[in-house]
Structure formats: structure tokens, C-alpha cells
């Protein structure tokens, strides 16, 4: 048997979707990731981006990246552990630690690597990691690399979480790992209750706040700040590829824990460091997050408007409480057809089908930016209403 034989099935699926004109992935965008983008020479309203604060095209971000390249070059040509640490890496880490009022921080080259590095470095064969069933793929893969026992609780089900915690012997290390914002449907973890259970059962808590930092909380420090539990969370993980409009990831936590991860995380030690342009743009984004709260205010005004209107016409937005707003379609084939109709109306969104969603719960994942105009939003809402009517999903 040839190990490549398994490739035939996915190749057939992709070709079939392409032939039908419903293949939505790996679309080449010809412009900046702004509220409007150009695809095949045509303008689309972008509601499929995670650039929540609309910073990707900000002139200050570009200038910071350009200056960093002029001073440091295009890459560090090595890992942080050896020759790849620049003074701007250290400055960004210090500023992140200050931002969160924690003992230390470390930055990784990608968000995915951040979770792999943290979890594999801290979890051992004698430990138990407890995760939400809908946690991000990077958390799941990090758990696999850790060799720890992994227990999954039903999504956002605190009774099930407590049931699992009760069964773990006191002499075993345990850590709860959860997304602050769940990236497919935009609902949030019940952090106050998770913190209560963490304390009750003497566990540690890691919050992946990739979609929360810069968006939630009075100062933009994410879901932990939003729920008032910053001081009770042991580790916060975040990414630079979303609200920060850059590339990379970070963790903040106790100084000793940071030191341990820096010297044990294979995803850090054996990977090239964040390139200078990404470091400088992330630093600029952090400065903007701290100094321009009006961006979050605008983002939340847009979010409330979209959620209210979609619900009014009868579309199912699940339990979203964030700028990630799903529209539940149902069947996979209907989801692709709905997506294609949105494209015809000049709207770029993301179709999500099983196994990324439960069977029969395919959805259009939408997400919004502070830079969307009122005209953009009205066009989007009109398009969803019209398409929803075609599919019998809205009130007549």
C-alpha cells in the first residue's frame, strides 16, 4: 500500500467543489486586509477577517514595520534561544507583562506554536489537562505533545467540568485550558465559574485569549479583564495575528513559569524567532490598543447593530456575544450555496462545515472590524436578509 493513496479522496472532493464553483478556500486577496478587499479585480466587503481593530492598513503599522526592516533586516536567522533575540523582542515582552500586570511574558513566532510550546512544556506524563470540547486545534495538539492525560468536558458545561475535576487525584498536577472566545461561534467561556472551580480543586488555569485581547475589557486586556478575573488566571495566551494585525503569539504569567517555558518549549527553542517587522508592528498595535479605546467602542457598536438586526429578521446567530457572529445555515451543501450567494452580492465571509462544526450545524462565520463603515454594515445586513429569505431562514 502507498502512503499517498489517502490523498485521492480529498483531491476528488476539492476538484468536485471547484468544478461546481463552490470551493471557498485559499482565495488570493489582492489588497490589504481592510474592511474592503480586492479579489480577482473586484471589490468585496470583508467580513471574514480577524483584524478586529482594523489596523492592517494603518499607516503607523506600516511605518513601524518598514523602520524595523531598515534597522534589523528581514529576519533573525535563528531561534530566540540562540542568536535570534533582538532588543525589540525583549521590549515587547516587558510591555506585555506591564500591560497585563504579570511577572513576565514571552513571544513566539505564531499563535499556534505558542499553545504547542506552553502546553507541551508544562504538561507531563503525571499531569492531567482538562479542556473544553470546542477548544482550538492548537490546544488539542499541544495536549497531544505533552504526554499528559487529557480530559474533555462538554462545551461550557460547568457541571461536567466539576465532575471531571472531582475524579482527579490530589497528588496529580492539573490545568484547565480554555478559549476565552470560541472562534467559530463567538461565544465566551464562563470564566468566573471556571475560576471558582479552579480554586476549589487546586488546579491551574490557562486562557487562550487569541480572539479576546484588544477587543474585550475596559483596557483591551481581553476576556479575563472583561469578567474581572485577571488576578485569578495563571497564564494568558494571545496572538498578534488578530486585533494586533501582525503575526506571532505570546504568553504572560508568573516569572518562574515564563523562565521554565523559555527553556523547555520546543516550539520556541527549535523555531526561528519573530521577524523584526512583526515585532515592531505588534509593538505599535499594543500602543494603539492602550491609547485608542474609541476603536473598541466603535467595534462594539457595530457588533450590537449586526447581532440585533440579524436576530430581528429571524437568522440564528447561536450564542455569540462577540464580534465573531455566526449565521447558522444547517446542511453543508446549503452553507456553500449561501456563501456563493453572498459572494455574488460582494460580501466575503467564511463557510464553516463539519467536522469544524457538528453535523447539521454548518454556518457562515462573520467577524467585524472597527473600520467598517455604516454603509458597509447596511450592505451586509441587506445581503444576509435577502439571502436568508431565499433559503427560508428569515421571517417573511
* Catalytic residue set: 183, 211, 242
Query: If we measure between CA atoms, which residue out of 163, 173, 175 comes closest to residue 129?
Result: 175
Distance CA 80, CA 357 (A): 37
211 touches 50 (CB < 8 A): yes
Distance CA 191, CA 31 (A): 38
Contact, 176 vs 196, CB < 8 A? no
Q: Which three cell numbers stand for residue 293?
A: 479605546
Distance CA 138, CA 142 (A): 6
Q: Could you give the CA distance from residue 369 to residue 50 in angstroms, rounded to a whole number?
A: 8
Quote the strand ranges of 240-322, DSSP E: 249-253
User: SS3 of 367, please?
Assistant: strand
355: preceding bond cis by omega (within 30 degrees): yes
Q: Mention every residue, 6+ apart, whose C-beta is less than 8 A from residue 8.
A: none
246: which 3 cell numbers?
501582525
Q: What is the DSSP string of 270-290?
A: TSBPPPHHHHHHHHHHHHHHH
Q: What is the dihedral of CA 113, 116, 121, 125, to 10 degrees?
A: -160
Amino acid at each position: 500500500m502507498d502512503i499517498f493513496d489517502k490523498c485521492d479522496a480529498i483531491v476528488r472532493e476539492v476538484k468536485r467543489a471547484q468544478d461546481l464553483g463552490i470551493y471557498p478556500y485559499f482565495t488570493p486577496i489582492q489588497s490589504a486586509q481592510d474592511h474592503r478587499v480586492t479579489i480577482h479585480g473586484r471589490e468585496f466587503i470583508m467580513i471574514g477577517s480577524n483584524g478586529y481593530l482594523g489596523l492592517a492598513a494603518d499607516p503607523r503599522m506600516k511605518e513601524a514595520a518598514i523602520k524595523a526592516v531598515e534597522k534589523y533586516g528581514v529576519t533573525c536567522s535563528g531561534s530566540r534561544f540562540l542568536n535570534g533575540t533582538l532588543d525589540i523582542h525583549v521590549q515587547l515582552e516587558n510591555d506585555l507583562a506591564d500591560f497585563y500586570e504579570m511577572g513576565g511574558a514571552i513571544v513566539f513566532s505564531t499563535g499556534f506554536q505558542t499553545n504547542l510550546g506552553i502546553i507541551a512544556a508544562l504538561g507531563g506524563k503525571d499531569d492531567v489537562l482538562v479542556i473544553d470540547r470546542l477548544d482550538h486545534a492548537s490546544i488539542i495538539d499541544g495536549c497531544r505533545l505533552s504526554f499528559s492525560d487529557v480530559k474533555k468536558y462538554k462545551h461550557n458545561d460547568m457541571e461536567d467540568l466539576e465532575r471531571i475535576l472531582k475524579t482527579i487525584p490530589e497528588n496529580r498536577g492539573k490545568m484547565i485550558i480554555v478559549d476565552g472566545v470560541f472562534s467559530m461561534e463567538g461565544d465566551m467561556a464562563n470564566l468566573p465559574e471556571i475560576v471558582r472551580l479552579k480554586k476549589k480543586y487546586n488546579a491551574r488555569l490557562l486562557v487562550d485569549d487569541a480572539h479576546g485581547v484588544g477587543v474585550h475589557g475596559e483596557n483591551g486586556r481581553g476576556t479575563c479583564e472583561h469578567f474581572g478575573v485577571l488576578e485569578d488566571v495563571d497564564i494568558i495566551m494571545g496572538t498578534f495575528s488578530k486585533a494586533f494585525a501582525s503575526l506571532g503569539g505570546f504568553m504572560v504569567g508568573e516569572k518562574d513559569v515564563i523562565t521554565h517555558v523559555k527553556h523547555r518549549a520546543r516550539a520556541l527553542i527549535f523555531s526561528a524567532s519573530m521577524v523584526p517587522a512583526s515585532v515592531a508592528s505588534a509593538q505599535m498595535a499594543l500602543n494603539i490598543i492602550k491609547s485608542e479605546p474609541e476603536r473598541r467602542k466603535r467595534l462594539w457598536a457595530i457588533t450590537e447593530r449586526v447581532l440585533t438586526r440579524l436576530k430581528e429578521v429571524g437568522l440564528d446567530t447561536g450564542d455569540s456575544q462577540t464580534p465573531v457572529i455566526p449565521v447558522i445555515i444547517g446542511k453543508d451543501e446549503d452553507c456553500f450555496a449561501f456563501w456563493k450567494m453572498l459572494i455574488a452580492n460582494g460580501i466575503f465571509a467564511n463557510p464553516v462545515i463539519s467536522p469544524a462544526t457538528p453535523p447539521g450545524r454548518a454556518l457562515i462565520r462573520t467577524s467585524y472590524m472597527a473600520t467598517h463603515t455604516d454603509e458597509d454594515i447596511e450592505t451586509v445586513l441587506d445581503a444576509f436578509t435577502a439571502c436568508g429569505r431565499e433559503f427560508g431562514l428569515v421571517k417573511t
